[in-house]
Amino acid sequence: MNARTLDIDRLGAQGDGIADGGEHPTFVSYTVPGDKVTVSLNKSRGTLLALIDSGPDRVPAPCPHFGPDSDIAECGGCVVQHVALDAYGDWKRDLVVSALESRGLDVTVAPLVRAEPGARRRVVFAARRSDRGIVLGFNKQGSHDIVAIGSCLVATPRINRELDTLRKLANVVALGPQAFRYSVLDTASGFDIAVDAPFKLSDKDRLRIADAVRRTDGVARLSFNEEVLLEKNPPQLNFGAVTVNPPPGSFVQASEAADLLMSEIVSGHLGKAKRVVDLFSGCGTFALRLATKSTVHAVEASGPALASLDKAYRAHPGLRSVTVEKRDLIRRPLMTQELKIYQGLVFDPPRAGAEVQAQEIARSVVPKVAAVSCNPITLARDLAILVAGGYRVTSVTPIDQFLWTPHVEVVALLEKKV
């Protein structure tokens, strides 16, 4: 074993402690700056063997599943529960600052808006059938092994209360030993469960699973590889005063509190615009709230998501006009000429960002833009394009929607004098 003693100097972008003292940086999970540790080395990675001295920002992890010293099992769902709150907030904010600086953007970044435990309404579990029954939990860090959990600090109280119920239903779904994704969305009408699995269903399987869902209280719908097997009640999410029934497996913000805050920031920036365009609109997180004051055009590649948005709009006659357009904005962005009729624009693309669309926005005369992203690196690239086109970034707000992970949501507001 190649053991070595290291001093941890900083936290990396993925939450690993980094020791800079050697020929190259060494990454060690579950460490903080100021730690002195003994590790087993494998190239640039060190596996923690012993903690010799603790850094000032090390705290006990609140979850019994966390870290290599867990008495139960090491869950990889969270990576930085051992970091003190202030240091954690600074680290997450610095992820955004560093991304912006890498693109030459000298922009003030607000302090991190912190998340609270128990706020995560959308949880993606890993599951598989074993000799001992169903295993439901999260992958161990750096492994395909699934760690069974008895509770999850980030999930909503209802998800935690019903873990046994969710586990029993996962056992019905597991048709073989292969692992599968088991997504649970906690909605106002019950759980919306979306299974993504490498199994092929027979008609008998469909009937058996549907019957199990029918007999399970608290489950609104279960879909299998996007096929709805049973919908007892349409899943319901509230976007402001508007109730939306999202399609199976649809993207929604993971935290209701973060969803509300992001919408407030965006609406505050665009709320006086007569006409607004919402790009990558999804089911209408922003569009349906903006429609209380503005005429909105929502553009999205997913037909089912747009159908949900349109249905929700038509069921709430108090809104301004909302139109929808099915369009792949990555391949076919709204062009500068198409954007000239709008006074406000919001875009919330996938993690890969919206580079080509940002180029069209940069050439436009839309005076106010809100950019939302869960990836600071691609957001910084897109913001640099907009700034080069004459926009000025007026605020950047990092939001900790994904507690104790290296992911951070960001809302950036921009203006252009026209």
Catalytic residue ranges? 374
Count of helix runs (H) and strand runs (E) in the chain: 10, 22
- Residues at the binding site for S-adenosyl-L-methionine are 253, 280, 300, 348
- Residues at the binding site are 253, 280, 300, 348
Helix residue ranges per DSSP H, 194-344: 203-214, 256-270, 287-290, 303-314, 336-339
CB atoms within 10 A of CB 161: 12
Letter for the amino acid at 283? C
For residues 386 and 336, is the Cβ–Cβ distance under 8 A? no
**Alpha-carbon dihedral of residues 303, 307, 308, 311, nearest 10 degrees?**
170
Phi, psi of 280 (to 5 degrees): 60, 55
Strand partners, 414: 369, 393
- State the DSSP string of 52-78: EE--TTB---SSTTBSTT-SS--B-S-
- Nearest-5° angle of CA 159, CA 163, CA 168? 135
Measured distance CA(348)–CA(371) in Å, rounded? 6
